[in-house]
Amino acid sequence: MLSILRKSRLKDKELRVLMLGLDNAGKTTIVKCIMKEDTSTVSPTLGFIIKTIDYNGYKLNIWDVGGQKTLRSYWRNYFEKTDALIWVVDATDRFRVSDCAEELKGLLGEEKLLGASLLVFANKTDVPGCMTPDEIREGLQLDDIKSHRWHILPCSAMTGENLVEGMDWVVKDAQQRLFLY
């Protein structure tokens, strides 16, 4: 029943995309790159930023929420009507992979996010010595996730590598799950 209501609500092909991850993962830089904005002046997000983009016939409302530890308890305020969760991981930050996994596991248990698909952007994979997508997949225990459809992609917020492919996956997944047409 919920999926029918969602399809009805989404007849105008509008998607709410929530972008989360630990601080310094590159969430805002990814959003700026997708929006074709200058990425040379990015500072930590101390709240949230909403950007809207028309993408392949869909209106994507991207909610970029700060990832500092002090802000994470407020993340739940942004869960309502989320269609896709983009979880950004800093592929150079080996020391916080377990923190990253713990935060993601908590998110995936939230009732308001149960219908959302999950895209994991392994950001900064253009940096030598970074973790591979397989290392991140293992560190986040992605293969254990049965509650959400998920996909992982290596990317670079600075070069734009795989950002379009990631957004394509989000839209394609939404087409399959949410829309009647």
Residue stretches of the annotated binding site for GTP: 21-28, 67, 123-126
Distance CA 137, CA 49 (A): 27
Answer whether residue 162 is part of any domain. Answer: no
Instruction: State how many domains the chain has.
Output: 1
What's the pLDDT at 103? 97
Structural tokens at position 37: 């904005």
Answer whether residue 171 is part of any domain. Answer: no
Answer whether residue 76 is part of any domain. Answer: yes
What's the pLDDT at 180? 55
Residue stretches of the annotated binding site: 21-28, 45, 67, 123-126
Answer whether residue 49 is part of any domain. Answer: yes
Answer whether residue 166 is part of any domain. Answer: no
Candidates 68, 141, 175, 176; catalytic one:
68
What's the pLDDT at 11? 56
What's the pLDDT at 113? 95
Residue with tokens 């802000």: 71
Answer whether residue 168 is part of any domain. Answer: no
Instruction: Walk along the chain (181 residues) and give the pLDDT tens digit of each residue.
Output: 445 455 455 456 899 999 999 999 999 999 999 999 998 888 888 889 999 999 988 999 999 999 999 999 999 999 999 999 999 999 999 999 999 999 999 999 999 999 899 999 999 999 999 999 999 999 999 999 999 999 999 999 999 999 999 999 999 998 888 765 5
Report the CATH number at residue 115. Answer: 3.40.50.300
Q: In what order do the strands lie in the sheet with 150-154?
A: 48-55, 58-65, 14-20, 84-90, 117-123, 150-154
Answer whether residue 71 is part of any domain. Answer: yes
What's the pLDDT at 115? 85
Answer whether residue 63 is part of any domain. Answer: yes
Q: Using alpha carbons only, how large is the chain's radius of gyration in Å?
A: 15
Q: Is 175 a catalytic residue?
A: no
What's the pLDDT at 40? 86
Range of the domain at 55: 13-155
